[in-house]
Chains A and B, each alone.
Chain A
Amino acid sequence: MSQFRRALAISFKDIESYYGKPPLITWGLLFPAVLILSLYVKDPATYLAIAPGIIAMTLLFGNTSMAAIVVTFEKRAGTFQRLLLAPLSMRTIVLGKTASASVYGIATALALFLGLKFALGMPLVNPVLLLAGLILGAGIFSLLGLAAAVMVREVFEAMTLMNFVRFPILFISGVFMPLSQMPPWLKPLALMSPLTYVVELLHLGVTGRSDFATPVIPLLASLVFFLASWVLAEIMFRRRAYS
């Protein structure tokens, strides 16, 4: 319990120092909002086929970037050493850093969704699945950002490293094209991407439609990806955080 409270302290401090800053919030909101509005202006009847995917894409880019930037920045400034000197387990540090980055991702995605709901009348069929998609997506992508951050020294190195992963999975994960319309050779790859399941959960939440027979599949798959990302981040922190 004591370690949990310390993780909360790390999260609150990070939100206060980094995530709560207006430029960051507006960047996280404006980029996807403009993209979705463009789609809506082009064709109000079909924008919903892509809007949930764009919200998922925002989570992917926002959370991996922010989690990595915060850790790399603190490593450069020497302040990350304060966490390593304090009586904190590595799990506590990972939890604290992930929670703050996830809160940022979920809050901006929710604000975006609410804005679109009021402005464009975006539907909300299943709020539980929408929230599950946001929480799991934000968690997975924050953890991957953290894992990348401890492997490098500079922010640009973290971004380069993650771009090798982010752009390919953006292409294969059904953000711009539903799974059912993908060429058969691409489908197995899509099923290996965590973004695929996050996109599906958001589609289920917003429109109620999905390419999977049951919501249990994307839900369980996202959970498995979340746990795997957690294990990866914790292993990377144990091995590399002190270097």
Chain B
Amino acid sequence: MESTPAIAVSGLSKSFGSLQALSEVSFSVPRGEIFAYLGPNGAGKTTTIRILAGLLPRDDGEVSICGTDVARDPVVVKERIGVVPDESNLYPELTCRRNLEYLGELYGLARGVRAQKAAELLSFFGLKDRGTTPFGALSKGLKRRLTIAAALVHDPEVVFLDEPTSGLDVPSARALRELIRTINRQGATVFLTTHNLQEAEALSQRVLILIKGRVAALGTPAEIRQRVQGLNLLAVTFSAEIEAAPLLRACPAVLQASRRNGTWRLEILETHAALEQLVAFAGGAGVRISEVSAVTASLEDAFMSFLKEGGPEAEALP
């Protein structure tokens, strides 16, 4: 059975009234992979997770987890998966330890096993000294950690993480990403949805981009980046502050301009014309161009490109 994929989805469709939330979505996640499921708000990510977790019936298509159909045998599937919802939703009145032990009971763990598992998870997630603290009294970051720990109490084969680092500060998010890697190294398949594309690129082996309920791209981050290699990008630093609107007006060869950490990232039509126009614009604005470099498209650039196109037809990469 090890050869069966952890997650197999084929022709999955779901609509809510007249709204088509998912349309003919197909993908497969082999065991042991970290798979990122990306898309803008409303693309259908949470709907997919809810269907995969047995919380929502599908309209059409096939969905199986470790070879078992979710709709046919939801209890068996739920024994094998752990789900971290986008909101930390453990019992606020129960202590951290009691939350983990209670969930262990719901998964049928024997008393001794669940006590040991709770202790292990509290230690693994850096919550050893918070065992007797009520969940409701934890900080947002610690709540997120315990919610992830709760999803692991029964050693699931597949873990669904819906926006795991959403709303966390940088150190907490970084620590959680490291924990996700460790969970994966210990054998769990990770299905991750996130708005943080750098996080997806850093963590996942493969990525699926979902736009308007359809698969826009599927492949490794490198493969997806390659699909938008025709994209011309320049990173430009000016000696003083400038505004985007006059820059775009003065440089027709610059299609889009965004600023990050003082450097302008420009999507251009053609390099020579863009450079000429930029130099002329800088002269006119009384600023100097301090630095110019060509930029390789990132996953975020690829994502934005797919989004701008309104979601190309599904084309899985090898």
Contact = CB atoms under 8 A, between A and B. Distances in A.
B75 A17 contact: no
A87 B79 contact: yes
Nearest to A81: B89
A13 interface: yes
B105 A9 contact: yes
A5 B150 CA distance: 19
Given A78-B87, A82-B103, A87 B92 contact: no
B94 interface: yes
A121 B277 CA distance: 101
Contacts, number: 59
A199 to B, nearest CB: 35
B84 to A, nearest CB: 10
Interface in A1-56: 2, 5-6, 9-10, 13, 16-17
B255 interface: no
Contact of A85 (B76, B83, B94): B83
A176 B148 CA distance: 54
B91 A89 contact: no
B49 to A, nearest CB: 11
B79 to A, nearest CB: 4
Nearest to A17: B93
B102 A9 contact: yes
Interface in A61-94: 77-79, 81-89
Interface residues of B, number: 23
Contacts of B106: 6, 9-10, 82-83, 86-88
Contacts of A87: 75-76, 78-79, 106-108
A164 interface: no
Contacts of A6: 105-106, 108
A6 to B, nearest CB: 6
Nearest to B53: A85
A78 B107 contact: no
Interface in B87-118: 87, 89-94, 102-103, 105-108
A89 B106 CA distance: 11
B56 interface: yes
B56 A79 contact: no
Given A6-B106, A87-B78, A82 B90 contact: yes
A5 B90 CA distance: 21
Contact of A78 (B56, B79, B85, B105): B85
A9 B99 CA distance: 12
Contacts of B83: 85
Nearest to B106: A86
A242 interface: yes
Interface of A: 2, 5-6, 9-10, 13, 16-17, 77-79, 81-89, 242
18 contacts: A5-B105, A5-B108, A6-B105, A9-B106, A13-B102, A17-B91, A78-B87, A79-B91, A79-B92, A82-B91, A83-B106, A84-B55, A85-B55, A85-B85, A86-B106, A88-B78, A88-B106, A242-B56
8 smallest A-B Cβ distances: which pairs?
A78-B89, A9-B105, A87-B78, A86-B106, A87-B79, A87-B75, A85-B83, A2-B108
